[in-house]
Chain A
């Protein structure tokens, strides 16, 4: 094998091997958190219309990512169920493809195999990849990178050969990339930068791409709601500069080392390294620009183009936003390394020392993130699959989980994974919310907590079993929990009623139909009784579903009375959709053992086949 052939093989094989070595725990990781919500999409599909809706309807934070989230999770779940390995293998295969495409792109750009190999190596160890390489919900970053790099490689071929086929193939890949991630919108800017540093006269060829991005922007803005509050609210102000600085500093990956319990001097040295490396890269860039080597400007431009769209998200700073920008950093370091490598022994030693420091620290950080996600997903697997087994052993009984802490709740309970195994009647023991840190932006812990009175009755009637996760396995602790419950729990009315659960039937008054699956229809009027608010200022939340046929004659109006005090009628307009209505409770109810909630609709639907008078479907009634 010739030296060149060896170099060519090493240019893509070394980053591949390092990628596998660093993120190996991510290949073996199971599911966690948002994964379960995406996996559950398949359960919402009952018709072709449902399928298209599941694939393209804007979801969380107005995102529309049909390939990287919807098709990925629905398709893989249909094929492999809850076997996570194929999900993870696809992520790794895509990342290896990315490394290959990057090496090809950089080699064509610079003519250097060393630079190509180093760019892949420096990028793949960047800790921002730790999340996507170990958590399936972040696959969108990896997949979008494949579209971006694939389109760029084709565009490069077009620039070199002038063949229209490459151009149109590139256009197709670019357009498809919108189905992976919204950040694809900046591809024209990246392509323009590449054209400017390699074939400036052909930069005009990127103009139609800007047009496509503009059309996408308008369509996306029209279809997807933009959050104006919460972590995804956008702030177009000076805070974007501090956000940029945060990401620049973060991109070097040294800050994550603080979690490794290193000696203080090493932690301090690590915190200074981004400044050292940053200064070195800036110095290199000034020198290159002085010599009219414009290619040195490409990495910084790449970084800014790809980080730009997330700079207004000052309240949602997350490492995986750096996945694509850090390609720019990898290329930057590779160019500098290649330049230094050819400048004599001392400069060679200097750039080698810097490269080893960065690779060592970044790979350690990336590995830590992958390991963390692996461990977290393992606990989720133990809980979710343990509950599936408990359901087999105790069919028809309510399963209560005791001792679920903050980490486990947000990783393995909040996104309702148990329904994927057909285990719907799974709750947390009363008081669990005390041990779980609240994150209102992610969900409501109290919605998962089984109320005291219902727990006591279920335990007395042998209708519930209690489990705790102990050393990786669910342990049945029903007997001992019963003893604790007897000393602690009060037979009081629940402040949250799940109308479709038999345990709450005692808190429902007149006007309700029998349970259908996990829901319950109300008639024209319906009553319920809840435990009073703990303090003034709490609100009543009603959540359910409105059938389209109820809205055939226009919006539906629901009048709610609490202890005889009526609220202004609420209007429900969304056909075949979920509703949530919120009513601020009047002062003076705090501490009451029981409050009476009456609901009345201005219209109902009577199915000709059974003559029942049907209104809204519930759902839950809650005070919090």
Chain B
């Protein structure tokens, strides 16, 4: 019975390494950056837009399924104030999904929002599904170029209940629309 050939194996090994190496060589020396800083704050942001992560200040997890993000019990976004909002006010719209696993344990969840100290009317959800939390924001709260909106849920899943993360609702977009 023929023995495995050490010389043959060594020759093939060297051949493969030598043959493969030059063709696989990638440029690691430099990765160019994008320097033109033309990004601007948006009045409406989509949760699946990586660029919008700048405006998702806290309480958001990473993008899932390329479409949405889970939140914690409290979460905040910064939005650019629309034109004339400082005079006419604006409409806040938060597109969210209240997931069944959350309501199974909490029965209801109430979302509330504060814009620059102005509390908006809360809304309570008792059935799972997609909703738009829509509230007028007074002009007095929209005097700056951008505002931070703090959302909070009265009931959510604490970390460790379903998974290691604290889970609130699923958000797909948030925006301030001109009145």
Contact = CB atoms under 8 A, between A and B. Distances in A.
A402 B34 contact: no
A389 B57 contact: no
Contacts of B4: 8, 11-12, 100, 103-104, 107, 113, 116
A481 B37 CA distance: 10
Given A393-B35, A476-B33, A435 B62 contact: yes
25 contacts: A8-B3, A11-B4, A12-B9, A86-B21, A100-B9, A100-B13, A104-B4, A113-B2, A402-B53, A403-B53, A435-B61, A467-B33, A468-B50, A470-B50, A473-B31, A474-B31, A475-B34, A476-B34, A476-B37, A477-B54, A480-B40, A484-B41, A484-B54, A484-B78, A487-B78
Interface stretch (B99-107, B117-125, B143-151): B143-151
A480 B28 contact: no
B28 A402 contact: no
B178 interface: no
Interface in B1-48: 1-6, 8-9, 12-13, 16-17, 20-21, 24-26, 28-37, 39-41
A386 B146 contact: no
Interface in A1-50: 2, 4-5, 7-9, 11-13, 16, 20, 27-28, 30
B13 A483 contact: no
Contacts of B127: none
B60 interface: yes
A77 B5 CA distance: 33
A473 B20 CA distance: 27
B16 A20 contact: yes
B73 interface: no
A13 B50 contact: no
Contact of B146 (A103, A402, A487): A487
B13 A113 contact: no
A116 B58 CA distance: 57
A113 B54 contact: no
Contacts of B148: 487-488
Chain B, interface size: which category? 35 or more
A143 B147 CA distance: 56
Contact of B24 (A85, A402, A405, A473): A85
A481 B32 contact: no
Contacts of A97: 13
A476 B41 CA distance: 14
Contacts of B5: 8
Given A4-B2, A107-B3, A483 B37 contact: no
Nearest to B39: A480
Contacts of A92: 17
A91 to B, nearest CB: 11
B34 A474 contact: yes
Which 4 residue pairs are nearest across A and B when measured between Cβ atoms?
Answer: A385-B31, A403-B53, A434-B58, A475-B34
Nearest to A96: B13
Contacts of B144: 487
Contacts of B29: 385
